[in-house]
Amino acid sequence: MFLKNYFTLFLLGIVLTACSEQQARKPISQSTGTFMKESIKRNKKLVANEEDLIKKEIKKDTAHAYIASEKGYWYTYETLGEGKTAPVRGDIAYFDYEITDLYGNVIYSKEELKPQTYYVDKENIMIGLRHGIKLMHKGDKVKFYFTSHLAYGYHGDNDKIGTNQPIICIVSLTDIKKDESQP
């Protein structure tokens, strides 16, 4: 019995001694933030290149005057509608659109995309369209040039729109209605 108690005390002493002498492990690597800085630099260069491509294409279109938005895209009104107000948060916007590449090659036709119903600022749609639709009035037809980060970004749409591809959206706003289900 004495031997059993002695052995238990001995083990307890080793465990307590071992626990008290441990030091915290240091991290194997330390992050300096260089990856993020390099990523930001690459993305800025990518956006600048896409903007240059868009500006070159806009210069070729002498029939329209383009407006540079504060959000980083360009647009021109192809048709002005009779509407007096633009959609605001909570309105329902009805629109048709088609998507082309920067050179006018159709990626998605209006027929493929079908008429759209969009609850303004309450649904997830392409960020460029989210901003652009709020500039339009009923009956307007607007041509938008979007850099890839305002369109489908790094991944594209996993179908016809590629990685980091700037696009053109030609949007016709057919109607705006108040959402009657909202107070």
CA atoms within 13 A on the CB side of 25: 3
**Residue 147 and residue 75 in contact, taking contact as beta carbons nearer than 8 Å:** no
- Output the pLDDT for position 12: 61
Cβ atoms of 102 and 53 within 8 Å: the answer is yes
Query: What is the per-residue pLDDT for 20?
Result: 55
Neighbours of 120 (CB within 10 A): 19
The pLDDT of residue 80:
95
pLDDT tens digit at each of 183 positions of the chain:
555 666 666 666 666 565 555 566 666 665 667 888 888 899 999 999 999 999 999 999 999 999 999 999 999 999 999 988 999 999 999 999 999 999 999 999 999 999 999 999 999 999 999 999 999 999 999 999 999 999 999 889 999 999 999 999 999 999 999 887 765
Residue in the block written with tokens 């980091």 = 164
Q: What is the pTM of this model?
A: 0.79
Beta pairing partners, 76: 143
Indicate the helix (H) or strand (E) that contains 117: strand 116-119
